[in-house]
Amino acid sequence: MRRQRWREPEYKISAGRCGDLKFNDAQFAEFRKQVIGRIVVASDPDYNSCRGTFMLAFQHFPQIIVYCVGFSDVVACIRFARRVGLHVVCRSGGHSAAGYSVNDEMVLDVGDMNYVLIDPATETALVGAGANMAALNAALDLYQLHVPGGGCGSVGLGGYMQGGGYGFTSLLFGMNCDSVIGVQVALADGRIVTANQHENEDLFWAVRGGTGNNFGVLLEIKYRLRKLGPLWGPGSSGLLPLRRTPTPPASRSLSGRLILRARNARKAWGTSPFWFIPKTLATTI
Ligand SMILES: Cc1cc2nc3c(=O)[nH]c(=O)nc-3n(C[C@H](O)[C@H](O)[C@H](O)COP(=O)(O)OP(=O)(O)OC[C@H]3O[C@@H](n4cnc5c(N)ncnc54)[C@H](O)[C@@H]3O)c2cc1C
């Protein structure tokens, strides 16, 4: 039997509801060869689900959606977009309440760049811009390490951190972006740069709270981590452990809000870890 040779499938792009496409079949085929991640265009069966974001109010019809799996995919997208004149928006978790992560031209999705690498020795983490809150918290929980994070597991770090990122522990540890010690960003000219306290200081300042999409494509975040002890929250039968450490607090009279106990906070910050719990309650813990 003759072995069938693997052939690059032929892609025929159709505009669908996208209006006039800014690229032709040949340009698209060339671009496809440079990208490892998935590319979705209007003729794909799952185009509709791919073009959506968390906020259904924003209905856009991108000409092309690219699920980047690595830095090289991001650079290929930027170069392609510049060549054919596509306006690009970035998407990480797709939770932008203003609909900023979808447009009618190119959506550069980093959601597949979702790794979390923790170094417990240096108490730092390298996090792909597409990782979400659930993935980050689960990885950190293994080591009882922490950065301030929100309650919604599917919010993407790419958008959250660049918006500042307020979390349950922000009164103790600051905003999420305050724990960032470095980032990797792909600029509009396709260069990848590191930004931290010593290199590209302006960019480092700008990405921490200036909201995404403005200064380049955020690729990776480096966090300084904090130690965090047991956590409890109110449940039907009193306070329940939220993390793996099972010891409940002595008092059962607390309810109605998340109670956080960070054993090491006093040592690390020289202040009481309970200072944001009302005084009357703090005495009962
Ligand atoms: C259910 C829900 C719960 C939330 N809870 C909290 C909370 O507890 N605390 C809090 O502070 N906020 C919270 N938010 C707000 C949330 O942090 C912001 O909406 C955030 O921008 C979402 O990030 P994202 O990556 O999921 O969204 P996206 O829509 O993917 O991105 C948001 C913005 O960042 C840009 N962006 C995304 N990725 C990149 C990238 N790699 N490079 C450059 N730009 C990029 C996008 O273009 C867009 O402008 C919540 C939002 C929702 C919907």
pLDDT tens for 23-73 read: 999 999 999 999 999 999 999 999 999 998 888 888 999 999 999 999 999
Q: What 3-state class would DSSP assign to 124?
A: strand
- State which ligand 1 atom lies nearest to the alpha carbon of 217: 42
Cα–Cα dist 212/157, whole Å? 11
Binding pocket residue ranges, ligand 1, CB within 6 Å: 53-54, 89-97, 100-101, 110, 129, 150-152, 155-156, 158-160, 162-163, 165-166, 211-213, 217-218
Cα–Cα dist 41/50, whole Å? 9
Kindly give the pairing relationship between strand 64-67 and strand 106-109: parallel
CATH architecture of 25-109: 2-Layer Sandwich (3.30)
The residues, ordered by sequence, that sit 6+ positions from 98 with a Cβ below 8 Å of its Cβ are: none
- pLDDT for residue 213: 79
- State which ligand 1 atom lies nearest to the alpha carbon of 185: 42
Q: Provide the terminal-to-terminal Cα distance of the chain, rounded to the nearest Å.
A: 76
- pLDDT for residue 199: 98
Kindly report, as residue ranges, where domains of CATH 3.30.465.10 are found in the chain: 116-227
The rounded Å distance from CA 137 to ligand 1 centre is 16
pLDDT higher than 80, residue 6:
no
- pLDDT for residue 15: 63
- State which ligand 1 atom lies nearest to the alpha carbon of 163: 21
How confident is residue 156, by pLDDT bands cut at 50, 70 and 90? very high
- pLDDT for residue 242: 63
**Tokens read off for 41:** 């265009």
Q: Of residues 244 and 202, which shows the higher confidence score?
A: 202
CB atoms within 10 A of CB 193: 15
Over residues 106-117, the mean pLDDT reads 97
Over residues 6-11, the mean pLDDT reads 49
CA dihedral (100, 39, 219, 173) positive or negative: positive
Q: 71-84 and 25-34 are packed helices; what angle lies between their axes, rounded to 10 degrees?
A: 160
The average confidence (pLDDT) of the chain is: 82
Whole-structure pTM value? 0.83
pLDDT higher than 80, residue 17:
no
Residues 108 and 92: beta-carbon distance below 8 Å: no
CATH of domain 116-227: 3.30.465.10
In one-letter notation, the amino acid at residue 21 is L
In one-letter notation, the amino acid at residue 121 is A
Question: Residue 238: beta bridge partners?
Answer: 235
Q: Of residues 252 and 98, which shows the higher confidence score?
A: 98
pLDDT in tens, 211-234: 777 899 999 999 999 998 777 777
Residues 276 and 264: beta-carbon distance below 8 Å: no
Which long-range contacts does 267-270 make (Cβ < 8 Å, 24+ apart)? 268/226, 268/227, 269/172
Kindly report, as residue ranges, where domains of CATH 3.30.43.10 are found in the chain: 25-109
From 92, 103, 136, 176, the mutation candidate for ligand 1 (largest count of ligand atoms within 8 A of CB) is 92
pLDDT in tens, 171-193: 989 999 999 999 999 999 999 99
pLDDT higher than 60, residue 169:
yes
Residues 69 and 112: beta-carbon distance below 8 Å: yes
Percent of the chain at pLDDT exceeding 90:
65
